[in-house]
Amino acid sequence: MIISVSHVTMRLSGGGHALTILDDVSLDIPPQQIAAIVGPSGSGKSTLLGLIAGLDKPTSGSIQLDGLEITTLRESDMARYRRQKIGYIFQSFHLIPTLTAWENVAVPLELTGERHAKSRAIDLLTSVGLKDRQFHYPVQLSGGEQQRVAVARAFACRPPILLADEPTGNLDT
């Protein structure tokens, strides 16, 4: 399995009591598979994606990506693993406001030492219809355009695992 989630529970403390966000969740996703996590607002979909991406650690349970148990990794090792193996499209873009569209897409490429980061970033922006907006800052882009920059960035390093949290919420049909 490329993604294996086993008996994952996520609880947070607040207001004097524990809030259970996920309770004993298990799932397996094989390589080359597309899977959708669906449910009502507040059901823990974004939390589960964040746990699979190693952005947070579960209260209990196991998460393996391509055979590697990620819940025991140090943060620096998890960051390195994410950079190499995971593309993530955030629901709220998370673009760097002081960087242009092409620079936002180039960031993960530069972190991995890609020699042709700028040309790859521009190719990706072209593929999402934003070549003419490559020099614009996020504040100069519509919500849909920012989302397309985020999509291009997620694909930048050709990750074997792509996680997307409501990736089309700001896009036209």
CA distance 56 to 47: 8
Instruction: Read off the pTM.
Output: 0.84
pLDDT in tens, the chain (173 residues): 789 999 999 998 877 788 899 999 999 999 999 999 988 888 899 999 999 999 999 999 999 999 899 999 999 999 989 888 999 888 888 999 999 999 999 999 998 888 999 999 999 999 999 999 999 999 999 988 999 999 999 999 999 999 998 876 666 66
pLDDT attached to residue 119: 93
pLDDT attached to residue 26: 96
CA distance 94 to 104: 10
Report which of 138, 146, 153, 27 is spatially closest to residue 87, judged by C-alpha positions. Answer: 153
CA distance 153 to 91: 13
